[in-house]
Amino acid sequence: MSAPSPLDICRHCKSRLLKNHDELKSLSIVHMDCDSFYASVEKRDNPDLRNKPLIIGGDSNRSVVSTACYIARTYGVKSAMPMFKAKKLCPHAVILRGNMQKYTEVSREIVKKMNNLTPMVEQVSVDEAFLDLSGTQKLHKQYPSQLVARLAKEIESEVGITISIGLSYNKFLAKMASDLEKPKGFSVLGQNNIEKVLAPFSVSKIWGVGKVLGKKLNANGIETFADLQKLDQETLLKTYGKMGSRLKYFSVGKDNRQVKPAAREGGRKSIGRETTFFKDIHEHSILKNKLWDVCEQVHQDAKHHNKAGYTVTLKLKTNDFQTLTRSHTLPSPTMLANIMFDIVCQSLAKMRPTLSYRLVGVSLSNLTDPQKADPLDFLEPKNITNQKIENAMDEIREKFGRKAVIKGRSVKNKKPNNSLPEKPSPQ
């Protein structure tokens, strides 16, 4: 056999790149992840940034990195890294505060294209989604693998953003596959010999395994999937609780979670966003950054759906998969990010400071007509300012386009580390 071309070699494991797979015609669960999303959008809109290391986040040393482009990553810059450390690693990097309004609109454009293929789209964050393409072959006359490859090409050519794809038979493996080859990768994990394929991977690849649990697993001699595969479920349950069961199932490639599309407009009872972290987070300052990100997304969704809500709910999931929710009902409905943010931060402050979290979410419920939202309260000048800012920005965008004015937390809060939240690592 002739030696493979360098183009046929995986840059990570140095083995031959996959050109075909026995299960390509049968696998239908897809994970699509936008490559370095925030940075990619900025580079798309400003070609001068294309070949420069770009970091999205607050410029202050107290801020954290939201996203680093792939050039910046070659210097060791990573998401959630303190900005002062990122500047030391890559002092010549361009640092932008970012524009959540723009990123949310680009995200909607991408998800709309996904929905053209199937209604079975579950958006899990602003830059990634699961698709269930079961049964789409009859409609589109192509296998799911062909459909999703065509979709990624369409998104790149029409939206200007590249996508990494994972194809498998369940969500866990589809997500794991999409992480194998970035950027612009297409990786497949099939059922054949899946335990053997997974065996050498680190347990850190499993959702929910952050620093704390990772250290505990390593201390108990569990470092790889193979180590988990050797243990029975009962032993793992006794040692790690409910997470032990998940560890066992994931280690052998099992995951019974279904792709859950968003509720249709007619049946919408709430508007919410949530994000799962790749590594657990316990620092409240970082969690607040993420909560601001989520509140802005909920605000944009509320405007998009022409809804406001009386009840604001904070959702937290701990590193042991315990879900905590705290709700606050307002006397008047709101759709303002600032008001939602203040409420969820008050709820967060009441949580035990020792807890670590793998997910944060914010939702609006008890939905109503937006005309009733955020009445001017002359006893609360802050609320008047918030609404005037929102109204003014809406008028400017209506006249001059969405890019005419940028909404940022700096309008209200001068703390640079809260102006743009971190973007979570791949989940």
Residue 278 sits in a domain of what CATH number? 3.30.1490.100
3-state secondary structure of 93: coil
Beta bridge partners, 280, equal: none
List of long-range contacts for 151-160, beta carbons under 8 Å, 24+ apart: 151/32, 151/113, 151/114, 151/117, 152/32, 152/184, 152/186, 154/113, 155/110, 155/113, 156/184, 158/113, 159/106, 159/109, 159/110, 159/113, 160/40, 160/44
Query: Where residue 64 sits, what CATH number does that domain have?
Result: 3.30.70.270
In this structure, is residue 6 part of a structural domain? no
Tell which wins on pLDDT, 325 or 267. 325
Overall average pLDDT of the 304-316 stretch: 90
At 241, list the tokens. 């609780």
Residues 210-226 have a mean pLDDT of: 92
Residue 425 covered by a domain: no
Could you tell me which residue, 332 or 291, shows the higher pLDDT?
291
Q: Which of 42, 122, 128, 422 is catalytic?
A: 128
Domain boundary among 251, 278, 297: 251
Residues 209 and 327 in one domain: no
Q: Are 113 and 145 contained in the same domain?
A: yes
Same domain, 168 and 215: no
Residue 43 and residue 65 in one domain: yes
Rounded to whole angstroms, the Cα distance separating 158 from 103 reads: 16
Contacts of 11 (CB under 8 A, 6+ apart): none
Q: Residues 66-76: what's their mean pLDDT?
A: 96
Q: What is the mean pLDDT of residues 151-173?
A: 96
Instruction: Give the start-end residues of each E strand in 322-390.
Output: 323-334, 357-368
Average pLDDT (30-51) is 96
The number of beta carbons lying within 10 Å of the beta carbon of residue 195 is: 12
- Does residue 149 carry a pLDDT above 70? yes
Model pLDDT, residue 412: 40
Q: For residues 79 and 170, give the distance between their C-alpha atoms in angstroms, rounded to a whole number.
A: 27
pTM of the predicted protein model = 0.67
pLDDT class for 156, splitting at 50, 70, 90? very high
Residues 277 and 332 in one domain: yes
Tens digit of pLDDT for each residue in 267-301?
578 899 988 887 889 899 999 999 998 998 899 88
pLDDT of res. 367: 86
Shared-domain flag, residues 184 and 198: no
Structure confidence at residue 394 as a pLDDT band (50, 70, 90): very low
Asked whether residue 269 falls in the same domain as residue 374, the answer is yes
- pLDDT band of 209, cuts 50, 70, 90: confident
Looking at residue 387, what is its pLDDT?
58
How many domains are there within the chain?
Answer: 3
Q: What average pLDDT does the structure give for the chain?
A: 83
Q: For 99-132, write each residue's pLDDT tens digit.
A: 888 998 999 999 999 999 999 999 888 899 999 9
**pLDDT in the model for residue 305:** 82
Res. 424: pLDDT tops 70: no
The reply to whether 158 and 30 lie within a common domain is: yes
CA 18 centroid distance within chain: 27
| 169, 224: one domain | no
* Residue 107 structural domain: 17-192
Q: What is the mean pLDDT of residues 176-204?
A: 93
Mean pLDDT of 334-360: 92
Q: Which of 172, 192, 212 is the last residue of a domain?
A: 192
Clarify whether residues 111 and 151 are in a common domain. yes
Judged against a pLDDT cut of 50, whether residue 191 lies above it is answered with: yes
Which of the four pLDDT bands, split at 50, 70 and 90, describes residue 70?
A: very high
**Domain-located, residue 3:** no
Report residue 11's pLDDT band, with 50, 70 and 90 as the boundaries: low
240 lies in a domain?
A: yes
Q: Identify the pLDDT of residue 406.
A: 46
Residues 340 and 413 in one domain: yes
Q: Is residue 257 assigned to a domain?
A: no
pLDDT surpassing 60 at residue 226: yes
- Amino acid making up residue 53: P
Do 171 and 209 lie in one domain? The reply is no
Domain boundary among 143, 162, 192: 192
398 flagged as catalytic? no
Asked whether residue 258 is domain-assigned, the answer is no
In a domain, 290, yes or no: yes
> Highest-confidence range of 103-107, 302-306, 368-372, 393-397, by mean pLDDT?
103-107
Residue 7, in any domain of the structure: no
